[in-house]
């Protein structure tokens, strides 16, 4: 036990106790000084038992946000990449599907339609309803279009063509325009149905599994 002048306290630190009868617990000291590895949202969060149709999604950017957050693949933290150069905001919550990987070496992207913005770093269950094929500066960068599986207003949707046409037009226009002021070209191709999205997720799951297997064999 440390007295009020700090004698006996860890590393010589003084703990000015107001109540001299309080005993400092050694287990608490260990908890304060022990550094444990944080869970990595890409690798440690399970994709979910119903994948690839219904899956967990980590939200990077909230609906209505203008800050482009993205996963830092080394640390697992969410970092600020940039603030959008245009006077537009993300039309829906945007993030990635854990335990997937695509040709660009990133997890597969997903736009999740639901009623409310979700905090960055949260995860939710989503259902794939379509695929938006996209070419970003000459490179394939497809997006999964999904709905929150636990939002009573959106969870009944199963296909993109069930959505109001204007909503799809908004999504297309956002991705066509959000990099224009950076002088970067983005082409959005014709939307594809849920089955194409499910196939794309399955491919990204298989590729992720192949990377993990190869890593374990080294």
Q: Percent of the chain having pLDDT more than 90?
A: 73
Q: How does pLDDT run across 22-55, given as a tens digit for each residue?
A: 555 555 445 445 555 678 999 999 999 999 999 9
Q: How does pLDDT run across 46-98, given as a tens digit for each residue?
A: 999 999 999 999 999 999 999 999 999 999 999 999 999 988 999 999 999 99
How long a stretch of residues is the chain? Answer: 218
Integer Cα distance of 56 and 53 in angstroms: 10
Q: Taking the CA atoms of the chain, what radius of gyration do you get in angstroms?
A: 23
How many other CB atoms are there within 10 angstroms of residue 30's CB atom?
Answer: 10
How many other CB atoms are there within 10 angstroms of residue 91's CB atom?
Answer: 17
What is the value of pTM for the model shown? Answer: 0.82
Distances in whole angstroms, Cα of residue 189 to Cα of each of 127, 152, 162, 209: 21, 30, 19, 28
Nearest to 86 by CA among 175, 186, 180, 169: 180
Say which residues have a Cβ less than 8 Å from residue 62's Cβ, sequence separation at least 6: 90, 93, 117, 118, 119, 120
With contact defined as beta carbons under 8 Å apart, do 131 and 192 qualify? yes
Nearest to 53 by CA among 143, 164, 130: 130
Integer Cα distance of 19 and 21 in angstroms: 5
Integer Cα distance of 28 and 43 in angstroms: 30
- Residue 131, pLDDT above cutoff 60: yes
The pLDDT confidence band at residue 158, using thresholds 50, 70 and 90, is very high
Q: Vertex 142, ends 115 and 185: CA angle to 5°? A: 100
Query: How is residue 34 annotated by DSSP?
Result: -
Q: How does pLDDT run across 176-214, given as a tens digit for each residue?
A: 999 988 999 999 999 999 999 999 999 999 999 999 988
Look up 94 and say whether it is catalytic.
Answer: no
Nearest to 59 by CA among 125, 11, 133: 125
Integer Cα distance of 107 and 34 in angstroms: 31
Out of 13, 69, 85, 90, which one is annotated catalytic? 90
Integer Cα distance of 146 and 126 in angstroms: 6
**Assigned token pair, 121:** 């770093």
């Amino acid at each position: 036990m440390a007295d009020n002048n700090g004698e006996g306290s860890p590393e010589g630190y003084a703990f000015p106790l107001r109540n001299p009868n309080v005993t400092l617990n050694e287990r608490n000291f260990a908890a304060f000084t022990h550094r444990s590895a944080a869970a990595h949202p890409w690798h440690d969060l399970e994709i979910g038992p119903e994948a690839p149709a219904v899956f967990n999604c980590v939200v990077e950017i909230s609906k209505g946000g203008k800050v482009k957050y993205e996963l830092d693949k080394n640390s697992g933290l969410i970092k600020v990449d940039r603030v959008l150069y245009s006077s537009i905001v993300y039309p829906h919550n945007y993030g990635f599907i854990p335990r997937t990987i695509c040709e660009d070496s990133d997890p597969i992207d997903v736009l999740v339609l639901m009623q409310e913005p979700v905090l960055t770093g949260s995860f939710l269950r989503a259902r794939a309803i379509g695929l938006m094929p996209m070419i970003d500066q000459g490179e394939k960068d497809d997006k999964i279009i999904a709905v929150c599986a636990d939002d009573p207003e959106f969870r009944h949707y199963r296909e993109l063509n069930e959505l109001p046409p204007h909503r799809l037009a908004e999504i297309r226009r956002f991705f066509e325009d959000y990099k224009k002021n950076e002088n970067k070209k983005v082409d959005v191709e014709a939307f594809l149905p849920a089955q194409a999205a499910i196939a794309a997720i399955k491919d990204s799951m298989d590729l992720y599994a192949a990377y993990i297997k190869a890593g374990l064999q080294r």
